[in-house]
Amino acid sequence: MKKLAIKTQNRAGSEPKYKENLGFASIFLHPQDWISIDLFEGFGDSYRQRETEEITISDNGNIVFKGSFRELIQILKLTL
């Protein structure tokens, strides 16, 4: 089972806060530029954990990537 956790820190630089056992997280640079990780799919009775996490990256409101962590790593390795 995949586990999603996030660590955040405010602008004053205080001690980072850690949250775990999350199902979804998004990080926004601007309203149209963001990265999300989703471990679940469906709604209501069909809500269930995904077999593979779904990472989505938006650039200026356009989805430029949607896939798993492994798929993202493979793409990044090709560009290095």
Q: Residue 41's domain spans which residues?
A: 4-8+15-79
* Residues 4-18: tens digit of each pLDDT: 999 999 999 889 999
Distance CA 55, CA 72 (A): 8
Q: What's the structural domain count of the chain?
A: 1
Indicate if the pLDDT at residue 79 is higher than 90: no
Mean pLDDT over the full length of the chain: 94
Q: What is the pLDDT of residue 80?
A: 82
Distance CA 29, CA 46 (A): 31
CB atoms within 10 A of CB 59: 13
Instruction: Give the angle 14-18-21 at the CA atoms, nearest 5°.
Output: 165
Q: What is the pTM of this model?
A: 0.89
